[in-house]
Amino acid sequence: MAFGLEETVFSLDLMNRVRRSPPLYNAGVAVRDIASLLTGIRNGTFSQHGEDRYIAHYFEKRDKGFYLDIGASHPFRISNTYSLYRAGWHGVTVEPIPRLAKLHRRWRTRDELLPVAVGATNGTVDFFEMTPSVLSTLDHAVADRYIAEGKAVLYRRYPIEVVAVNDVFEYAAASAPIDFVSIDIEGLDVSVLAAVDFVRFRPELICIEVNDAAVRQAAMELFARARYKMLDQLGCNLLAARIEATS
């Protein structure tokens, strides 16, 4: 039977109450994580729409590489980079929620975790940590919309450090050339993409979340100006590749 809005909100509220009981919540999360890991291994994908399969195929001739995962969320559940990690890649993951950051440090020891939010500029803004946490956002309007649509409920709101996207790129690129970038920051994806200095930073492949037609169009225009070509769209994620310069 399909759940209506009231039933969905009730289940999210119940989940919120469970989150406020750490022993019970942590036990449940541990069981769910193991189940999710085994399911991902069995299915050969950890992404929401099979994006990691597409990415693996794109880089199939490369044994190892370096990624930057902005808005990484869980270390492997709905992750566009965990399959690369399992294949021997490593990189920088960016996730501000303390519980999820702790899981990254546990499950992805070759990666470096930055526990910050990412924006167009540096600053401090309110962060809306939602249930489910994957819908957490810096955008008040997006948080309100998710709540109104019954997709999420607010777990807590608190100020958080925001680091400019070019500073994050510069930090990551100091370790190795960035081959792949995943951007999923709930409502701010295009504004952050617009702020990237594509003269200095030119990752080979980018995956970005586009939740509606207007955002998709804006992302495509930004990619075109930066000399990236759209390859495909899988679910809500758009994939674009760098166009090599010609002499």
> Which stretches of the chain score pLDDT less than 50?
1-7, 9, 247
Per-residue confidence (pLDDT) for residue 246, from 0 to 100:
53
| Rg of the chain taking only CA atoms, in angstroms | 18
Per-residue confidence (pLDDT) for residue 146, from 0 to 100:
92
Task: Return d(Cα 76, Cα 131) in angstroms, integer.
Answer: 18
Per-residue confidence (pLDDT) for residue 7, from 0 to 100:
37
Q: Which domains does the chain have, with CATH numbers?
A: 5-242 (3.40.50.150)
Q: What is the pLDDT of residues 121-147, one digit of tens each?
A: 999 999 999 988 999 999 999 999 999
Per-residue confidence (pLDDT) for residue 187, from 0 to 100:
82
Residue type, 59: F
Here the tokens at position 86 are: 């399992």
